[in-house]
Amino acid sequence: MSYDYDYIIIGSGFGGSVSALRLTEKGYRVLVVEKGGRWEPEDFPETNWNLRKWFWLPVLRFRGIFKMTIMRHVGILSGVGVGGGSLMYANTLPRPRETFFKSGSWSGLADWKTEMEPHYAEAERMLGATENPGLYDSDEALRAVAAKMGKSALYEPTRVSVFFGEPEQEVADPYFNGEGPRRSGCNYCGACMTGCRYNAKNTLDKNYLYLAEKGGAEVLAEKKVVRIRPIDADKGPGGEAGESGYRIQMKDSFGLIKRKRELTANGIILAGGVLGTVRLLLNMKRRYLSDLSNQLGSQIRTNNESLVTVHSRKKEKDFSKGVAIGSIFPPDEDSHLEPVRYGSGSGFWKLLGVPMTHGKTVIGRILKLIWSFIRRPFTWLRFYFSKDFAKESVILLFMQHLDSTLSLKRGLLNLRSALSTGPSPSAYIPLAKKMVDATCEEVDGAPFVSVSEAILGTPLTAHILGGCVIGKDASSGVIDSDHRVFGYLNLYVCDGSAISANPGVNPALTITAMSELAMSKIPYKK
Protein backbone atom coordinates (compact mmCIF):
# COMPACT_ATOMS: atom_id res chain seq x y z
CA MET A 1 0.00 0.00 0.00
CA SER A 2 1.38 3.45 -0.79
CA TYR A 3 0.84 6.21 1.76
CA ASP A 4 1.29 9.96 1.55
CA TYR A 5 3.74 9.68 4.49
CA ASP A 6 5.20 6.91 6.62
CA TYR A 7 4.33 8.83 9.79
CA ILE A 8 2.09 11.81 10.43
CA ILE A 9 2.80 13.61 13.70
CA ILE A 10 -0.02 15.64 15.19
CA GLY A 11 1.43 18.61 17.09
CA SER A 12 4.95 20.08 17.12
CA GLY A 13 5.67 20.49 20.86
CA PHE A 14 8.27 18.52 22.82
CA GLY A 15 6.94 15.04 22.01
CA GLY A 16 6.17 15.91 18.38
CA SER A 17 9.53 17.49 17.64
CA VAL A 18 11.53 14.61 19.16
CA SER A 19 9.44 12.16 17.13
CA ALA A 20 9.93 14.17 13.92
CA LEU A 21 13.71 14.17 14.21
CA ARG A 22 14.19 10.57 15.30
CA LEU A 23 11.80 9.12 12.68
CA THR A 24 13.40 11.23 9.93
CA GLU A 25 16.84 9.98 11.00
CA LYS A 26 15.52 6.43 10.76
CA GLY A 27 14.63 6.95 7.11
CA TYR A 28 10.87 7.56 7.36
CA ARG A 29 8.91 10.16 5.37
CA VAL A 30 7.48 12.38 8.07
CA LEU A 31 4.81 15.11 8.14
CA VAL A 32 4.17 17.26 11.22
CA VAL A 33 0.77 18.98 11.36
CA GLU A 34 0.54 21.96 13.72
CA LYS A 35 -2.54 24.06 14.37
CA GLY A 36 -0.54 27.16 15.37
CA GLY A 37 1.68 29.39 13.27
CA ARG A 38 5.39 29.67 12.54
CA TRP A 39 7.37 32.35 14.38
CA GLU A 40 10.54 34.30 13.63
CA PRO A 41 12.15 36.08 16.64
CA GLU A 42 11.05 39.53 15.47
CA ASP A 43 7.41 38.38 15.14
CA PHE A 44 6.93 37.77 18.87
CA PRO A 45 5.05 40.50 20.74
CA GLU A 46 7.08 43.00 22.75
CA THR A 47 4.74 42.57 25.73
CA ASN A 48 1.68 40.50 26.60
CA TRP A 49 -0.54 43.56 26.07
CA ASN A 50 -0.38 42.72 22.38
CA LEU A 51 -3.12 40.13 22.73
CA ARG A 52 -3.41 39.41 19.00
CA LYS A 53 0.18 38.15 18.99
CA TRP A 54 0.36 36.68 22.48
CA PHE A 55 -3.00 34.98 22.92
CA TRP A 56 -4.42 32.01 21.00
CA LEU A 57 -8.12 32.57 20.26
CA PRO A 58 -8.83 31.70 16.61
CA VAL A 59 -12.46 32.95 16.69
CA LEU A 60 -11.12 36.48 17.29
CA ARG A 61 -8.19 35.87 14.89
CA PHE A 62 -5.74 36.02 17.82
CA ARG A 63 -2.88 33.88 16.44
CA GLY A 64 -0.61 33.95 19.50
CA ILE A 65 1.45 31.33 21.29
CA PHE A 66 -0.39 31.21 24.62
CA LYS A 67 -3.69 29.49 25.32
CA MET A 68 -5.85 29.53 28.45
CA THR A 69 -8.58 26.92 29.03
CA ILE A 70 -10.76 27.32 32.12
CA MET A 71 -12.50 24.21 33.46
CA ARG A 72 -14.46 23.47 36.61
CA HIS A 73 -11.54 22.12 38.65
CA VAL A 74 -8.52 23.67 37.00
CA GLY A 75 -7.49 26.48 34.63
CA ILE A 76 -4.98 25.16 32.07
CA LEU A 77 -2.23 27.27 30.48
CA SER A 78 -0.55 25.86 27.37
CA GLY A 79 1.36 26.73 24.21
CA VAL A 80 0.47 26.74 20.50
CA GLY A 81 2.60 27.12 17.36
CA VAL A 82 5.45 25.45 15.48
CA GLY A 83 7.54 24.44 18.49
CA GLY A 84 4.50 23.98 20.76
CA GLY A 85 4.94 24.95 24.40
CA SER A 86 8.65 25.72 23.88
CA LEU A 87 7.71 29.04 22.27
CA MET A 88 6.21 30.43 25.49
CA TYR A 89 7.60 28.22 28.23
CA ALA A 90 10.01 29.42 30.90
CA ASN A 91 12.97 27.30 29.66
CA THR A 92 13.46 25.48 32.97
CA LEU A 93 14.54 21.86 32.74
CA PRO A 94 14.74 20.13 36.15
CA ARG A 95 14.84 16.37 36.50
CA PRO A 96 12.15 14.81 38.72
CA ARG A 97 12.89 13.09 42.01
CA GLU A 98 12.99 9.31 42.57
CA THR A 99 9.26 9.08 43.51
CA PHE A 100 8.23 9.91 39.95
CA PHE A 101 9.84 6.76 38.56
CA LYS A 102 8.23 4.53 41.18
CA SER A 103 4.65 5.80 41.35
CA GLY A 104 1.63 6.06 39.06
CA SER A 105 0.30 3.64 36.47
CA TRP A 106 3.73 2.90 34.96
CA SER A 107 5.37 1.86 38.23
CA GLY A 108 6.86 -1.62 38.19
CA LEU A 109 6.69 -1.97 34.38
CA ALA A 110 10.39 -1.11 34.05
CA ASP A 111 13.28 0.32 36.03
CA TRP A 112 12.33 3.71 34.60
CA LYS A 113 15.07 5.72 36.29
CA THR A 114 17.83 3.54 34.85
CA GLU A 115 16.14 3.12 31.48
CA MET A 116 15.54 6.84 31.06
CA GLU A 117 18.93 8.07 32.26
CA PRO A 118 20.60 8.17 28.79
CA HIS A 119 17.48 9.74 27.29
CA TYR A 120 17.48 12.53 29.90
CA ALA A 121 21.13 13.18 29.03
CA GLU A 122 20.34 13.28 25.31
CA ALA A 123 17.30 15.52 25.88
CA GLU A 124 19.47 17.93 27.88
CA ARG A 125 22.08 17.97 25.14
CA MET A 126 19.54 18.59 22.39
CA LEU A 127 17.72 21.33 24.32
CA GLY A 128 21.02 22.96 25.30
CA ALA A 129 20.29 22.73 29.04
CA THR A 130 22.82 24.69 31.04
CA GLU A 131 23.04 26.37 34.42
CA ASN A 132 21.62 29.89 34.44
CA PRO A 133 24.60 32.19 35.03
CA GLY A 134 22.56 35.36 35.71
CA LEU A 135 20.81 35.70 39.09
CA TYR A 136 18.86 38.92 39.60
CA ASP A 137 16.44 40.49 42.09
CA SER A 138 13.73 37.82 42.24
CA ASP A 139 16.36 35.07 42.47
CA GLU A 140 18.01 36.96 45.32
CA ALA A 141 14.64 37.19 47.06
CA LEU A 142 14.24 33.41 46.84
CA ARG A 143 17.80 32.92 48.06
CA ALA A 144 16.99 35.09 51.11
CA VAL A 145 13.81 33.08 51.81
CA ALA A 146 15.83 29.85 51.65
CA ALA A 147 18.40 31.33 54.02
CA LYS A 148 15.72 32.35 56.52
CA MET A 149 14.55 28.74 56.58
CA GLY A 150 18.14 27.64 57.24
CA LYS A 151 18.21 25.82 53.89
CA SER A 152 20.57 27.95 51.78
CA ALA A 153 22.40 24.87 50.61
CA LEU A 154 19.29 23.65 48.77
CA TYR A 155 18.84 26.84 46.75
CA GLU A 156 20.31 26.69 43.25
CA PRO A 157 20.23 28.34 39.83
CA THR A 158 17.97 26.55 37.35
CA ARG A 159 19.17 24.60 34.36
CA VAL A 160 17.65 26.31 31.36
CA SER A 161 17.48 25.91 27.59
CA VAL A 162 19.00 29.26 26.69
CA PHE A 163 22.12 30.24 24.76
CA PHE A 164 24.34 32.41 26.99
CA GLY A 165 26.82 33.78 24.48
CA GLU A 166 27.65 37.48 24.26
CA PRO A 167 24.33 39.34 24.71
CA GLU A 168 22.65 39.99 21.35
CA GLN A 169 25.79 38.91 19.41
CA GLU A 170 25.03 36.47 16.60
CA VAL A 171 27.29 33.43 16.19
CA ALA A 172 27.32 30.25 14.13
CA ASP A 173 25.38 27.30 15.60
CA PRO A 174 26.97 26.57 19.00
CA TYR A 175 25.22 23.22 19.59
CA PHE A 176 25.24 20.84 16.61
CA ASN A 177 28.67 21.16 14.99
CA GLY A 178 27.40 23.90 12.73
CA GLU A 179 24.38 21.90 11.52
CA GLY A 180 21.93 24.02 13.52
CA PRO A 181 20.82 27.63 13.01
CA ARG A 182 22.82 30.75 13.91
CA ARG A 183 22.13 32.00 17.44
CA SER A 184 22.47 35.10 19.60
CA GLY A 185 23.30 35.47 23.29
CA CYS A 186 20.68 36.08 25.98
CA ASN A 187 20.35 39.63 27.32
CA TYR A 188 18.28 38.64 30.42
CA CYS A 189 15.27 40.66 29.28
CA GLY A 190 12.92 38.26 31.11
CA ALA A 191 10.50 38.01 28.17
CA CYS A 192 10.89 34.26 27.51
CA MET A 193 7.16 33.63 28.10
CA THR A 194 6.03 36.07 25.44
CA GLY A 195 8.54 34.60 22.97
CA CYS A 196 12.25 35.36 22.68
CA ARG A 197 12.82 38.24 20.26
CA TYR A 198 16.61 37.81 20.52
CA ASN A 199 17.10 34.29 19.12
CA ALA A 200 18.63 33.18 22.44
CA LYS A 201 15.99 30.74 23.69
CA ASN A 202 16.48 27.15 22.53
CA THR A 203 12.96 26.60 21.24
CA LEU A 204 12.23 23.35 19.42
CA ASP A 205 12.31 25.02 16.00
CA LYS A 206 16.00 25.70 16.69
CA ASN A 207 16.99 22.15 17.58
CA TYR A 208 14.84 19.02 17.14
CA LEU A 209 12.44 20.44 14.57
CA TYR A 210 15.10 22.41 12.72
CA LEU A 211 17.23 19.30 12.23
CA ALA A 212 14.17 17.20 11.32
CA GLU A 213 13.19 19.65 8.56
CA LYS A 214 16.77 19.77 7.37
CA GLY A 215 16.65 15.98 7.14
CA GLY A 216 13.49 16.04 5.02
CA ALA A 217 10.54 16.18 7.44
CA GLU A 218 7.72 18.49 6.36
CA VAL A 219 5.82 20.79 8.72
CA LEU A 220 2.33 22.06 7.88
CA ALA A 221 1.41 25.02 10.08
CA GLU A 222 -2.05 26.44 10.86
CA LYS A 223 -3.79 23.12 10.15
CA LYS A 224 -5.72 21.29 12.83
CA VAL A 225 -6.20 17.52 12.71
CA VAL A 226 -9.84 16.71 13.43
CA ARG A 227 -10.13 13.05 12.53
CA ILE A 228 -8.05 9.86 12.54
CA ARG A 229 -9.42 6.58 11.31
CA PRO A 230 -7.96 3.26 10.27
CA ILE A 231 -8.01 2.94 6.45
CA ASP A 232 -9.33 -0.59 6.74
CA ALA A 233 -11.65 -1.57 9.59
CA ASP A 234 -10.37 -5.18 9.58
CA LYS A 235 -8.16 -6.24 12.45
CA GLY A 236 -4.80 -7.92 11.96
CA PRO A 237 -3.81 -11.36 13.30
CA GLY A 238 -2.90 -9.83 16.67
CA GLY A 239 -6.43 -8.43 16.99
CA GLU A 240 -5.18 -4.88 16.46
CA ALA A 241 -6.74 -2.36 14.09
CA GLY A 242 -4.75 0.01 11.85
CA GLU A 243 -2.82 -2.69 9.98
CA SER A 244 -3.50 -0.94 6.68
CA GLY A 245 -2.54 2.47 8.02
CA TYR A 246 -4.59 5.56 8.87
CA ARG A 247 -6.37 8.39 7.13
CA ILE A 248 -6.36 11.76 8.88
CA GLN A 249 -8.50 14.78 8.15
CA MET A 250 -7.29 18.29 8.90
CA LYS A 251 -8.79 21.71 8.45
CA ASP A 252 -7.48 25.29 8.35
CA SER A 253 -7.08 26.89 11.78
CA PHE A 254 -8.25 30.27 10.46
CA GLY A 255 -10.63 31.64 7.87
CA LEU A 256 -14.37 31.84 7.46
CA ILE A 257 -14.38 28.84 5.17
CA LYS A 258 -12.07 26.26 6.68
CA ARG A 259 -10.75 24.02 3.90
CA LYS A 260 -10.48 20.33 4.69
CA ARG A 261 -7.85 17.91 3.45
CA GLU A 262 -7.20 14.20 3.95
CA LEU A 263 -3.86 12.41 4.01
CA THR A 264 -2.78 8.83 4.66
CA ALA A 265 0.08 7.39 6.67
CA ASN A 266 1.27 4.02 7.86
CA GLY A 267 1.65 5.34 11.40
CA ILE A 268 0.42 8.24 13.52
CA ILE A 269 2.12 9.92 16.47
CA LEU A 270 -0.27 11.88 18.67
CA ALA A 271 1.67 14.81 20.13
CA GLY A 272 -0.94 17.53 20.58
CA GLY A 273 -0.27 17.97 24.30
CA VAL A 274 -2.83 16.82 26.87
CA LEU A 275 -5.63 19.06 25.61
CA GLY A 276 -5.02 18.32 21.93
CA THR A 277 -4.42 14.57 22.16
CA VAL A 278 -7.07 13.69 24.75
CA ARG A 279 -9.72 15.76 22.99
CA LEU A 280 -8.98 14.25 19.57
CA LEU A 281 -8.92 10.67 20.89
CA LEU A 282 -12.10 11.12 22.96
CA ASN A 283 -13.84 12.37 19.80
CA MET A 284 -12.47 9.42 17.79
CA LYS A 285 -13.39 6.81 20.41
CA ARG A 286 -17.06 7.46 19.70
CA ARG A 287 -16.74 6.47 16.05
CA TYR A 288 -13.48 5.49 14.44
CA LEU A 289 -11.25 4.27 17.27
CA SER A 290 -13.80 2.57 19.47
CA ASP A 291 -11.30 0.05 20.88
CA LEU A 292 -9.38 2.76 22.74
CA SER A 293 -8.97 2.02 26.43
CA ASN A 294 -11.63 3.29 28.82
CA GLN A 295 -8.73 4.85 30.74
CA LEU A 296 -8.60 7.56 28.04
CA GLY A 297 -8.95 10.96 29.71
CA SER A 298 -8.42 9.61 33.21
CA GLN A 299 -5.35 9.94 35.47
CA ILE A 300 -4.94 13.63 34.62
CA ARG A 301 -2.47 15.29 36.94
CA THR A 302 -1.14 18.73 37.59
CA ASN A 303 2.01 19.45 39.58
CA ASN A 304 -0.36 20.62 42.35
CA GLU A 305 0.80 24.09 41.53
CA SER A 306 0.09 27.33 43.25
CA LEU A 307 0.79 30.51 41.23
CA VAL A 308 0.94 33.67 43.32
CA THR A 309 2.08 37.16 42.29
CA VAL A 310 3.86 39.09 45.02
CA HIS A 311 3.58 42.81 44.19
CA SER A 312 6.46 44.66 45.81
CA ARG A 313 6.69 48.21 47.15
CA LYS A 314 10.48 48.29 46.73
CA LYS A 315 10.82 50.78 43.88
CA GLU A 316 14.57 50.22 43.51
CA LYS A 317 14.08 46.57 42.51
CA ASP A 318 13.61 45.26 38.96
CA PHE A 319 12.07 41.80 39.15
CA SER A 320 11.74 41.59 35.36
CA LYS A 321 15.48 41.17 34.77
CA GLY A 322 16.83 37.67 34.23
CA VAL A 323 15.61 34.57 32.39
CA ALA A 324 11.96 33.63 33.02
CA ILE A 325 12.83 31.21 35.85
CA GLY A 326 16.35 31.73 37.16
CA SER A 327 16.45 29.73 40.38
CA ILE A 328 14.78 26.89 42.28
CA PHE A 329 14.43 25.95 45.94
CA PRO A 330 12.85 22.84 47.50
CA PRO A 331 11.32 23.92 50.86
CA ASP A 332 10.67 20.26 51.70
CA GLU A 333 11.10 16.84 50.12
CA ASP A 334 7.82 17.00 48.19
CA SER A 335 7.89 20.60 47.00
CA HIS A 336 9.71 23.04 44.75
CA LEU A 337 9.48 26.80 44.55
CA GLU A 338 10.56 28.98 41.61
CA PRO A 339 10.34 32.76 41.07
CA VAL A 340 8.92 33.49 37.59
CA ARG A 341 9.17 36.75 35.65
CA TYR A 342 7.79 38.45 32.58
CA GLY A 343 9.72 41.07 30.61
CA SER A 344 9.40 44.77 31.38
CA GLY A 345 6.10 46.19 30.08
CA SER A 346 4.14 42.92 30.28
CA GLY A 347 1.27 43.57 32.66
CA PHE A 348 -1.73 41.71 31.28
CA TRP A 349 -2.01 39.41 34.30
CA LYS A 350 -2.87 42.27 36.63
CA LEU A 351 -6.27 42.48 34.92
CA LEU A 352 -7.04 38.97 36.20
CA GLY A 353 -5.54 39.36 39.68
CA VAL A 354 -7.11 39.97 43.09
CA PRO A 355 -5.56 39.72 46.56
CA MET A 356 -4.90 36.18 47.73
CA THR A 357 -7.92 34.98 49.69
CA HIS A 358 -8.79 31.61 51.14
CA GLY A 359 -12.09 30.33 52.43
CA LYS A 360 -14.36 27.30 52.22
CA THR A 361 -17.22 28.75 50.11
CA VAL A 362 -17.54 31.09 47.15
CA ILE A 363 -19.63 33.51 49.21
CA GLY A 364 -17.08 33.41 52.03
CA ARG A 365 -14.26 34.21 49.60
CA ILE A 366 -16.16 37.08 47.97
CA LEU A 367 -16.89 38.59 51.40
CA LYS A 368 -13.22 38.29 52.31
CA LEU A 369 -12.28 40.11 49.09
CA ILE A 370 -14.70 42.93 49.85
CA TRP A 371 -13.31 43.19 53.37
CA SER A 372 -9.76 43.21 52.00
CA PHE A 373 -10.66 46.13 49.69
CA ILE A 374 -12.19 48.08 52.58
CA ARG A 375 -9.13 47.48 54.77
CA ARG A 376 -6.43 47.98 52.15
CA PRO A 377 -7.72 49.93 49.15
CA PHE A 378 -4.25 51.26 48.32
CA THR A 379 -2.79 47.76 48.03
CA TRP A 380 -5.38 47.05 45.32
CA LEU A 381 -4.97 50.39 43.57
CA ARG A 382 -1.17 50.16 43.60
CA PHE A 383 -1.48 46.75 41.91
CA TYR A 384 -3.91 47.78 39.15
CA PHE A 385 -2.21 51.11 38.48
CA SER A 386 1.37 49.82 38.70
CA LYS A 387 3.67 51.58 36.22
CA ASP A 388 5.51 48.42 35.18
CA PHE A 389 3.84 45.35 36.62
CA ALA A 390 6.63 42.97 35.53
CA LYS A 391 9.36 45.08 37.13
CA GLU A 392 7.41 45.30 40.41
CA SER A 393 6.26 41.66 40.70
CA VAL A 394 7.71 38.27 41.62
CA ILE A 395 5.46 35.43 40.43
CA LEU A 396 5.90 32.42 42.70
CA LEU A 397 5.44 28.98 41.19
CA PHE A 398 5.02 26.37 43.91
CA MET A 399 4.84 22.67 42.87
CA GLN A 400 4.17 19.54 44.91
CA HIS A 401 4.40 15.77 44.46
CA LEU A 402 0.93 14.98 45.89
CA ASP A 403 -0.82 12.33 43.83
CA SER A 404 -4.39 13.32 43.14
CA THR A 405 -5.96 12.92 39.70
CA LEU A 406 -8.77 14.39 37.62
CA SER A 407 -10.53 13.13 34.48
CA LEU A 408 -11.16 14.94 31.22
CA LYS A 409 -14.43 14.12 29.48
CA ARG A 410 -16.20 15.29 26.35
CA GLY A 411 -18.29 18.35 27.15
CA LEU A 412 -20.87 20.16 25.03
CA LEU A 413 -18.32 22.19 23.05
CA ASN A 414 -14.98 21.34 24.60
CA LEU A 415 -13.40 19.11 27.22
CA ARG A 416 -14.66 19.29 30.79
CA SER A 417 -12.98 18.19 34.01
CA ALA A 418 -14.36 15.74 36.56
CA LEU A 419 -13.11 14.63 39.96
CA SER A 420 -11.25 11.33 40.13
CA THR A 421 -8.95 9.93 42.81
CA GLY A 422 -7.69 11.94 45.78
CA PRO A 423 -8.54 15.55 46.48
CA SER A 424 -9.06 17.93 43.55
CA PRO A 425 -6.09 20.26 42.88
CA SER A 426 -6.42 22.92 45.53
CA ALA A 427 -5.83 26.63 45.41
CA TYR A 428 -4.77 26.46 49.08
CA ILE A 429 -1.55 24.69 50.05
CA PRO A 430 -0.32 25.60 53.58
CA LEU A 431 3.39 25.34 52.70
CA ALA A 432 2.86 27.48 49.59
CA LYS A 433 1.15 30.09 51.78
CA LYS A 434 4.12 30.03 54.15
CA MET A 435 6.53 30.60 51.27
CA VAL A 436 4.38 33.43 49.92
CA ASP A 437 4.34 35.12 53.35
CA ALA A 438 8.13 34.82 53.59
CA THR A 439 8.57 36.32 50.12
CA CYS A 440 6.14 39.16 50.90
CA GLU A 441 8.21 39.96 53.96
CA GLU A 442 11.44 39.83 51.95
CA VAL A 443 10.31 42.15 49.14
CA ASP A 444 7.80 44.22 51.13
CA GLY A 445 4.97 42.98 48.96
CA ALA A 446 1.35 41.87 48.87
CA PRO A 447 0.13 38.55 47.39
CA PHE A 448 -2.30 38.36 44.44
CA VAL A 449 -3.82 35.34 42.69
CA SER A 450 -6.05 34.86 39.64
CA VAL A 451 -9.67 35.84 40.12
CA SER A 452 -10.77 32.26 39.23
CA GLU A 453 -8.60 30.95 42.05
CA ALA A 454 -9.72 33.57 44.58
CA ILE A 455 -13.45 33.25 43.94
CA LEU A 456 -14.03 29.76 42.52
CA GLY A 457 -11.09 28.10 44.26
CA THR A 458 -9.91 26.83 40.85
CA PRO A 459 -6.09 26.84 40.62
CA LEU A 460 -4.19 27.54 37.40
CA THR A 461 -1.75 24.99 36.05
CA ALA A 462 0.95 25.34 33.40
CA HIS A 463 1.76 21.65 33.83
CA ILE A 464 -1.22 19.56 32.79
CA LEU A 465 -0.22 15.92 32.39
CA GLY A 466 -1.70 12.44 31.75
CA GLY A 467 -4.91 11.23 30.14
CA CYS A 468 -3.15 8.64 27.92
CA VAL A 469 -1.03 7.04 30.60
CA ILE A 470 1.22 3.98 30.37
CA GLY A 471 -0.29 0.80 31.79
CA LYS A 472 0.26 -2.94 31.85
CA ASP A 473 -2.77 -3.40 29.64
CA ALA A 474 -5.84 -1.51 28.43
CA SER A 475 -7.50 -1.85 31.83
CA SER A 476 -4.83 0.28 33.49
CA GLY A 477 -3.55 2.54 30.71
CA VAL A 478 -4.04 3.81 27.16
CA ILE A 479 -0.52 3.04 25.91
CA ASP A 480 2.09 0.40 26.65
CA SER A 481 5.65 0.96 27.90
CA ASP A 482 6.77 1.75 24.32
CA HIS A 483 3.99 4.38 23.95
CA ARG A 484 1.96 2.16 21.54
CA VAL A 485 -1.79 2.67 21.87
CA PHE A 486 -3.43 -0.55 23.08
CA GLY A 487 -5.56 -2.13 20.35
CA TYR A 488 -3.98 -0.27 17.43
CA LEU A 489 -0.90 -0.86 15.29
CA ASN A 490 1.51 2.02 14.62
CA LEU A 491 -0.51 4.46 16.70
CA TYR A 492 1.61 6.22 19.36
CA VAL A 493 1.21 8.94 21.99
CA CYS A 494 4.32 11.05 22.66
CA ASP A 495 3.54 14.14 24.71
CA GLY A 496 2.52 15.28 28.18
CA SER A 497 -0.54 13.02 28.12
CA ALA A 498 1.76 9.97 28.38
CA ILE A 499 3.26 11.17 31.69
CA SER A 500 2.06 8.54 34.10
CA ALA A 501 2.95 9.94 37.56
CA ASN A 502 3.43 13.37 39.10
CA PRO A 503 7.00 14.57 38.38
CA GLY A 504 6.58 17.34 40.97
CA VAL A 505 8.70 19.67 38.81
CA ASN A 506 8.38 21.38 35.40
CA PRO A 507 7.77 18.51 32.98
CA ALA A 508 9.16 19.47 29.52
CA LEU A 509 12.50 17.70 29.99
CA THR A 510 10.71 14.55 31.10
CA ILE A 511 8.31 14.67 28.11
CA THR A 512 11.35 15.05 25.84
CA ALA A 513 13.24 12.17 27.49
CA MET A 514 10.19 9.85 27.43
CA SER A 515 9.65 10.64 23.74
CA GLU A 516 13.32 9.89 23.07
CA LEU A 517 12.90 6.53 24.78
CA ALA A 518 9.72 5.74 22.80
CA MET A 519 11.31 6.67 19.47
CA SER A 520 14.40 4.58 20.24
CA LYS A 521 12.12 1.52 20.16
CA ILE A 522 10.93 2.12 16.57
CA PRO A 523 13.19 0.27 14.08
CA TYR A 524 14.95 1.91 11.13
CA LYS A 525 12.94 1.86 7.89
CA LYS A 526 13.71 -1.26 5.86
Ligand X SMILES: Cc1cc2nc3c(=O)[nH]c(=O)nc-3n(C[C@H](O)[C@H](O)[C@H](O)COP(=O)(O)OP(=O)(O)OC[C@H]3O[C@@H](n4cnc5c(N)ncnc54)[C@H](O)[C@@H]3O)c2cc1C
- List residues binding ligand SF4 (CB under 6 A): 162, 186-192, 196, 198, 200-201, 323
**Quick one: which of 273, 336, 305 has its CA closest to 461?**
305
In the list 3, 5, 14, 380, the residue contacting ligand X (rule: CB under 6 A) is: 14
Give me the DSSP letters along 475-520: TT-SB-TTSBBTTBTTEEE-SGGG--S--SS--HHHHHHHHHHHHH
Give least dist CB 316 to ligand X, A.
28
Residue count, binding to ligand X (CB under 6 A): 40
157 with 143: CB under 8 angstroms? no
Smallest CA-to-CA distance from 97 within 468, 399, 452 is with 399
Nearer to ligand X, 357 or 407 (CB): 407
Q: Provide the phi-psi class of 145: left if phi over 0, else alpha when psi is between -120 and 50, else beta.
A: alpha
Pairing relation of β-strands 156-157 and 75-79?
unpaired
Pick the catalytic residue: 311, 336, 463, 483? 463
Q: Does 462 bind ligand X (CB under 6 A)?
A: yes
Q: How far is the CB of 196 from ligand SF4 (least distance, A)?
A: 3
Q: Applying CB under 6 A, does 271 fall inside the site for ligand X? A: yes
Give dist(CA 39, CA 45) in Å, integer.
Answer: 11
Supply angle C-alpha 22, 26, 31, rounded to 5.
65
Integer-rounded Cα Rg, in Å, for the chain is 22
Q: Return the number of the residue (350 or 365) whose C-beta is nearest ligand X.
A: 350
Closest CA to 401 of 320, 310, 336: 336
**Contact of residue 353 among ligand X, ligand SF4, none (CB under 5-8 Å per partner type):** none
CB of 279 to ligand X, least distance (A): 7
User: Contact with ligand X (CB under 6 A): which of 496, 516, 519, 522?
Assistant: 496
- Is 44 within 8 Å of 197 (Cβ atoms)? yes
Picked from ligand SF4, ligand X, none, the partner binding residue 10 (CB below 5 to 8 A depending on kind) is ligand X
Output 90 or 274, the one with its CB closest to ligand SF4.
90
Instruction: Say if CB 204 and CB 128 are below 8 A apart.
Output: no
CB atoms within 10 A of CB 192: 29
Residues facing residue 447 across a β-bridge: 310
- The nearest distance, CB 177 to ligand X, in angstroms, is 26
**Residue 513 is a binding residue for ligand X (CB under 6 A):** no
3 state DSSP class of 120: helix
Positions in 279-318 near ligand X (CB under 6 A): 280
73 is catalytic: no
Query: Interacting stretch for ligand X, rule CB under 6 A, among 31-39, 367-375, 406-414, 485-493?
Result: 31-39
Q: Decide whether 191 or 209 has the Cβ nearer to ligand SF4.
A: 191
Alpha carbons 277 and 467: distance in angstroms, whole number: 9
Query: CB of residue 484 vs ligand SF4: minimum separation in angstroms?
Result: 36
Q: Which residues of 280-300 are buried (b: 16+ CB within 10 A; e: fewer)?
A: bbbbbbeebbebbbebbbbbb
| 273 near ligand X, judged by CB under 6 A | yes
Question: Under the criterion CB under 6 A, does residue 132 sit at the interface with ligand X?
Answer: no
Check residue 326 for interaction with ligand X (CB under 6 A).
no
Residues contributing to the site for ligand X (CB under 6 A)? 10-15, 33-36, 77-81, 84-85, 88-92, 193, 224-225, 271-273, 276, 280, 325, 462-463, 495-496, 506-509, 511
Q: Tell me the catalytic residues.
A: 463
